[in-house]
Chains A and B, each alone.
Chain A
Amino acid sequence: MRTAAGLAHALRELGGLSGGAGALRIRFIGVIVFQFLLIVVFTALAPRFLTWDNAQSILFTAAILAIAACGQTLVVLTGNLDLSVGSIMGLTGYIVFSIASQAPGLQPFVIVIAIVFGVALGAFNGFLVAVLEIPSIVATLGTLSIYRGLVSFYANATEVTSGELPRWMRTLAETSWLGLSSYVWIALVTVLIVGGMLRMLPWGRQIYAYGSNPRAAHFYGLNSTRIVIGAYIGAGLIAAIAGLLLGAQVGNINSLLASGIELSVLAAVVIGGVSIWGGTGSVYGAVIGAIVLATINNGLVLLQVQEFYRLVLQGGAIVAAVAVDAVVQKRVQSATTRRRIMGVEA
């Protein structure tokens, strides 16, 4: 116990930050350490694990999850959830490619169409949460069903086959640049853009401000409705693009594309240290969370162990992550309270 406290103190000194910010930095370092431990353990158990080919395949698997996790991060930062992410991906992936296959003239513009869909679906989520004040878990549980129902209604049990997809999307899915799949680069660019926007733009700062204390943000004069809807629109847009990429990767798309992925996305975000209470965490953490999940899946497949271990390890990682978050949260809180008291005294 004493050594743990000492270690925390030493790490804080290392971070050069007091209380709260130090705890958050340690949380971020913790995920990286966990990822590193996974690599060490898997390498020890399966030598094939630590090869360039395998690393490529892990990153490729993680890419789409990481992109979707970026969008989810925006919403979770505001203290809400988006359970409909899988349905947005599925709906956009199916309908956009289906439209493109019927009207080949539209094929170069699939991304534009997907963005329109993503913005609309995300805005609807945001409207339900911010304007109608439906708790986000209920609202997006509803839209999860509605969006999935819409695509299944539209699809009417047919498939979009890989031959019908725009040629350039298929090529993109199979291309590698500098030894890494194009998807990994797209994920990297997405993360940097979203991370940069969260850091630099007022939009991003407002999301953090609103997420850490909605009341304070309101008193400060921030428009909470606009912030929440903005976060959902961002999440919808990113999910739509992820759906498009997933569709091009899968090839033969049916109406069940990406169903159930919301739980993996949420797991990535939670493991990556984005607090479910809102206000703390970063897209970079979420991406590492996605890589952790992909590493667990990949390593356990190599070890040829039962599904049991994969699910238990994944579940355990989620519970451990939120347990650490609770400790961090307490530290952040006590740090801010202490500062306030000192301010009053001074």
Chain B
Amino acid sequence: MTRLLRTYASELLLVVLIVLAGLWSSALSPYFLDPDNLLKSAQFFVIFELMAFGLFPIVVLGEIDISLASTLAIGSVMFASLSISGVPLIAALPIVLAATAGLGAINGILVGYAGLPSLAVTLGTMGAYRGLAYLLGGDAGVVGITPEYLLLGSSRIVMVPASVVLALVVAGAFAVLMGWTAFGRYSYAIGSSPRAARMAAVPVNRVRVMAYALGGAMAGLAGLVWVSQYQSARGDNADGSILFVVTAVVLGGISIKGGSGRAIGVLLATVLLGTIQTGMRLANVPGTSQALVVGALLIGSVGLPRAVSLLRQRFSSSSLSFGAQGGGA
């Protein structure tokens, strides 16, 4: 039991924070705990959750992808354009997902085979893909989406919005992928030590390309959710949202140095961020002030363990050297 507690300590902390944030939000507004309101609010975080899960294996590998929001924009613009030119969704889905996976794979090849630093590469492709999205979407963006494409954003499966169901399915799929498949195990191995993984005959570069391609595909899927919820698509969709996504992943206990973290953490972190943001919206806190809380959470969650151990060290050493130095604060 204690072992279980220790293993899932960061996840338990997230659950406690979610409960606290929920209590605070419901104290602010009686409407918060209304199930219908909760599910409606949850919808707005599906896009971020999908991107966070796309980023999750990449961060486990010890890399980063800040171009995902731009890939999302390409996905949403492609879905919208295919929709107005009469392509059925069932045909559009593989086309767009393959295209966005290809964009992700380009990042993966540059990072894996060419050995370039992922932050700089995706900083470059972030701009290039955003440009591509502008080119595809035109100045005015795309509107007049057919109802078929809007189904995901408007329909409900037994009370629960379809997009929220999709989010949960994706979370389950990633838990299986990272926990029980060769790809997942390889990812953790590479993230812990690329050299050791290579010596153990792990196809390091292939796994990297696959992870980036998967990330691109998830961003494409998030693009479909975007289209279904906002009923339009433009080149600037989701611009600047990557910081929120990275925050969700790191807050979920995925080490940015690679090699550790679980899918459930990503899901809980997204729920926590969603709860806090919904609560603050109810309290009429403006958007950019909400960033203050999100940033503090991020730093607190990552820095707290080290801060505690530093403090403990200081107090134990000062009590030991009490006689010699006469103590000290």
Contact = CB atoms under 8 A, between A and B. Distances in A.
B140 to A, nearest CB: 13
Contacts of A309: 131
B288 A149 contact: yes
B307 A132 contact: yes
Interface string A125-142: 000100111110111011
Nearest to A151: B288
B87 interface: no
Given A133-B306, A142-B299, A263-B123, A311 B293 contact: no
Interface in B195-251: 235, 240, 243, 246-247, 250
Interface stretch (A5-13, A171-179, A182-190, A319-327): A319-327
B129 to A, nearest CB: 8
Interface string A292-312: 000000000000001111111
A142 B244 CA distance: 10
A144 B289 CA distance: 12
B327 interface: no
A144 B124 CA distance: 20
Contact of A141 (B127, B132, B235, B298): B298
Given A138-B250, A311-B127, A318-B127, A276 B292 contact: no
Contact of A322 (B120, B127, B291, B302): B120
B61 to A, nearest CB: 15
A316 B286 contact: no
B291 A146 contact: yes
A256 interface: yes
Query: For chain B, what secondary structure do more than half of its interface residues adopt (helix, strand, loop), or is it mixed?
Result: helix
Nearest to A139: B299
B299 A153 contact: no
B73 to A, nearest CB: 11
Interface residues of B, number: 46
Given A139-B299, A141-B247, A152-B288, A270 B294 contact: no
Interface in B120-135: 120-121, 123-132, 134-135
Contacts of B290: 149
Contacts of B307: 132
B124 A316 contact: yes
A260 B130 CA distance: 14
Interface in B158-180: none
Contacts of A311: 127-128, 130-131, 134
Given A134-B302, A142-B295, A270 B116 contact: no
Contact of A137 (B110, B124, B256, B303): B256
A267 interface: yes
Nearest first, the 4 closest Cβ-Cβ pairs linking A and B are A149-B292, A145-B295, A311-B131, A315-B128
Interface of A: 81, 128, 131-135, 137-139, 141-146, 148-150, 152-153, 157, 255-256, 260, 263, 266-267, 270, 276-277, 306-312, 314-319, 321-323, 326
10 contacts: A141-B250, A149-B289, A149-B295, A308-B132, A311-B130, A314-B124, A315-B124, A315-B125, A322-B120, A326-B116
Given A270-B120, A323-B114, 6 more contacts: A81-B119, A137-B256, A146-B296, A314-B127, A315-B131, A319-B125
